[in-house]
């Protein structure tokens, strides 16, 4: 089955610790994205990557870091510098050319930092 997997579904961390959220896709998509969802805020873009070994900051990149060493994988690290890390995180992917512009989403990871 083709799709996007995010693990784990729920993640708990103590304040001051870095934590890495996993995102893997087998859709052969070039582009991958990380969004943060808070109640009443919709989805906000954290980082995106159009090709391997390249990524750009989105609208709320402060306190986050990413890597794109493989086409299939785009892990997100929430660092201790992120002031309000508790949120629902969604990973997405898409083709980067042609007419297929829609993004496909993973099931999300709920991160709680106490």
Chain positions contacting another protein, by CB under 8 A: 31, 33, 40-45, 48, 50, 56, 58, 88, 90, 92, 94, 96, 101-105, 107-108
Nearer to another protein, 97 or 114 (CB): 97
Q: How far is the CB of 72 from another protein (least distance, A)?
A: 18
Q: How far is the CB of 97 from another protein (least distance, A)?
A: 10
DSSP strand E in 1-114: where? 4-7, 10-13, 19-25, 31-38, 42-51, 54-57, 64-66, 76-78, 87-94, 104-105, 109-113
The single-letter DSSP state of residue 109 is E
User: What values do phi and psi take at 27, rounded to 5?
Assistant: -95, 0
Nearer to another protein, 58 or 80 (CB): 58
């Amino acid at each position: 089955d083709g799709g996007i997997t995010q693990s784990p579904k729920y993640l708990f961390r103590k304040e001051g610790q870095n934590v890495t959220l996993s995102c893997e896709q087998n859709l052969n998509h070039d582009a991958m994205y990380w969004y943060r969802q808070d109640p009443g805020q919709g989805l906000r873009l954290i980082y995106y990557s159009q090709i391997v070994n390249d990524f750009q900051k989105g609208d709320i990149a402060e306190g986050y870091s990413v890597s794109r060493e493989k086409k299939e994988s785009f892990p997100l690290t929430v660092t201790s510098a992120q002031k309000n890390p508790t949120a629902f995180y969604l990973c997405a992917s898409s083709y980067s050319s042609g007419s297929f512009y829609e993004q496909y989403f993973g099931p999300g990871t709920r991160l709680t930092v106490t």
